Structure formats: structure tokens, C-alpha cells
Homo-oligomer: A and B are copies of this chain.
Amino acid sequence: MDYETPQFFRVMQYAARADRDVVDMVSGNPDWDPPDGLRDGLRDYAEADADEYQYAPSRGLKSLREEIAARRDVTVDRVVVTNGTGEANHLAMTGGLDHFSGDEIVLTDPVYPYYAGRANFLDAETTFVAAGDDGRLDPETVRAAASDETSVIVVNSPNNPTGAIYDADAMAEFVAIAEDHDALLVSDEVYDHFDYAGRFASALEHDSPNVVATNAFSKSMAITGLRVGYAVFPSPDGPSGDLVDRAATRHMLTNVSGSRPAQYAVERALQTTSPEYYAECRRRLERRIDTFCAALDAAGAEYNRPEGGFYVMARFPDFAGSFENVYELVDEAGVAGMPGEAFGESRSDWIRFALVTPRVEEAAERLGNFFE
């Protein structure tokens, strides 16, 4: 599997060239509006003094870092603002490989392709732990896979692509496994606002020198294009204290700093957006999940109703999760999903659908007609 070239574009390009109308359920781009405060922040930035157009501090605007630290209940010296969760994961994974012994990264299967691509690019050994049929990750399988060679374990909850949420007990066990093997647990929590089951548990509940939590405003504020995320590292005063400084140095020597209008607007949105904005986003997605799962039932598909996030994986009778079949769905049903084989081996019979389109109902009908 060539994870270094994520395959999203391949399917999106095929769908764009199709000779018919296609509902795009490939990308993870929210289709709703960002909070009003985000646009207000951009409007105000457009009128700001010339000095506000110059370098932000490399670790991020101080007031934004303080806002993040207060919300996550950590000290501000643990927070580095990044170019989205992508860079946060990059800093965490490279930092874990540098700091901890071993050169192996433990990932899940199915896997978010960027993790595997980055691990390959960094020449790390990768070990994949298969998720259960319900999409959850059994801590015992992670413990069985981890060894003294393990330097990084990456988990993602709510999970892309399975929709599973790892609960507090599982997260505690992942932290313990990282500690037992002198490794770093990287917990990507970018879908934390999309918890329908009330089960989400952040890795930051554990004050451990073996934990980095990564996150962004990309999904929660519907701004994947603004590239504002962050990583929370272990305290600089603790036994892994060098992780945060090393990550900040890598960030500085790679990017110097993040884009300032985006940070400025996110800070404004954090200050002004009410819980109702996020609640409405969840309700909208739950309605779509209901609609889509009903169509999957009618089509005789197997699936797990997502506990969180905005993806549904489904397995249709006698219809593998291959690129070939996904292309057939584009041409014959007018629905584009991601083949399960793009996420690893364990879900090669499955297809992932992203519910970030207002046309979920239409897509559901089309799939129903195709598979009836």
C-alpha cells in the first residue's frame, strides 16, 4: 500500500470526471458554515495595523495559546500552535521517534492514511493493530503488539474511518502501555466535538510524560483550509520535558510560524462561539446518520453506527471495498465513497462514506436503488 500518496484525490478526480451527477462522500470537509465569530475575526484582521501582518510568535499567538491552555486545563508552556492537526501529528510522531527508544510506530488498521504515509516517510517500522468488528480498539491487542522496539503509538478517537470512540478505560490502558514500553502515546482528538455517545475521553486526563494530545479547529469550526491546530506536550519540567522544546524548534525551522490571520480569527471564534453552534452541528450529523443508516439497512449492508465523528463504514453483500467497485458506484449509483482498501487490510471489504454533504438523503436513496 502506497500510503505516501493519500488516495482521496484519486477518487475525487474520478468522480469529477464522471459523466453524471455524483454525491461526493469522499472528503472530510465539513459542508456547513464556520462560526460567525470566525468571519468577524477575519473582517477585523483585514483592517488591522501593519504590525499585525508580521510574524506571529513561533509557538502561536500568546492569547490563542492561553485560550487553548485554559480550555484543556494545562499550563500554556505545554501548548504549541501548529499548521492543523497534520503538523501537530508530525511534530508528535517525529518527537516520539527521536526521544524514545526503538524505531517502531504502532498504528491501527484501518488507519488514517496520513499516519501510515508519515511513518513510511520517516523510515519508521510500522506495526498495525486491527480494530474489532465494531471498530473499537481492544487495548489487549495493542499491548500484545507493543514491544521495546515501540517508540510511538498513535490512536484516534472519535475514529476516522470507523466512527468508534475509545472510552476512558481504554484510554487509560493505552497510556499505561506507552508508559510500560517507554513509548509516546499520540492521541489525535480532532473529532472530539462530534461525540454522540457521550463516551469520549481525552488522553489529557492522564498527566503522563508519555502522552501528547493533538487537535485542531479544522473540523469543529468547519475550517480545514485555515490550518490552525495544536499539540499539548508533557510538561517541560517533567521527565520528557525536552519534547515540547524540540517540537517547537522543529516547527520553527520548518515553518517559522503559523499563518496569523487564521490564528487571529480562530481566537475570536473561540471567545464568541456558543455551545449551541457545536450542538447544532452534532444534531445535523445525527440526522444524517439516521437517514444514511436506514438506507444501509434497506440495502442489506453491514455497518457500525458511528459513536462519533462523521464517517460511516459499510460492507455490502458481494461488493468489496475496492477502487474498482467504488468507481462502479460513482458511475452507476452517482455516489462517491472511499474504498476500504485505502485504509489497510482489515476493511478491504468495506467502503467509507463521509456524511459532510447536505445530499445524504439523496445518496442514501441512490445506494438503496443500486443495491436493491
Binding site for B on A (CB under 8 A): 4-6, 27, 29-34, 39, 42-43, 45-47, 50-56, 83-84, 86-87, 90, 114, 117-118, 121, 222-228, 249-250, 252-262, 265
Contacts and interface: CB of A to CB of B under 8 A. Distances in A.
B53 A222 contact: yes
Nearest to A249: B4
Q: Determine which residue in A121, A254, A261 has the highest number of CB atoms from chain B within 10 A of its CB, and name it.
A: A254
Given A42-B45, A50-B31, A262-B262, A83 B225 contact: no
Contacts of A253: 4, 86, 90, 114, 117-118, 121
A265 to B, nearest CB: 8
A86 B254 contact: yes
B226 A53 contact: yes
Most buried by B among A46, A84, A249: A46
Contacts of A47: 39
Contact of A259 (B34, B121, B226, B252): B226
A34 B50 contact: yes
A273 to B, nearest CB: 14
B43 A83 contact: no
Contact of A249 (B5, B32, B223, B227): B5
Given A83-B259, A261-B42, A225 B4 contact: no
Contacts of A114: 253, 256
A261 B260 contact: no
Nearest to A50: B33
Given A29-B54, A86-B254, 19 more contacts: A4-B249, A29-B55, A32-B50, A33-B50, A43-B43, A55-B225, A56-B225, A83-B83, A83-B258, A86-B255, A87-B255, A90-B254, A117-B253, A226-B259, A226-B260, A227-B259, A254-B254, A255-B255, A261-B261
Contact of A262 (B34, B50, B121, B261): B261
A42 B34 CA distance: 16
A55 B260 contact: no
A31 B55 CA distance: 12
A39 to B, nearest CB: 5
A83 B256 contact: yes
A245 B54 CA distance: 30
Given A34-B50, A53-B223, A53-B226, A84 B121 contact: no
Contacts of A43: 43, 46
Contacts of A32: 50
A351 to B, nearest CB: 22
Contacts of A56: 225
A254 B83 CA distance: 9
Contact of A53 (B84, B121, B224): B224
Nearest to A248: B5
A223 B259 CA distance: 10
A39 B45 CA distance: 9
| Among all A-B residue pairs, the 5 with the closest Cβ atoms | A259-B259, A225-B260, A86-B256, A29-B54, A42-B46
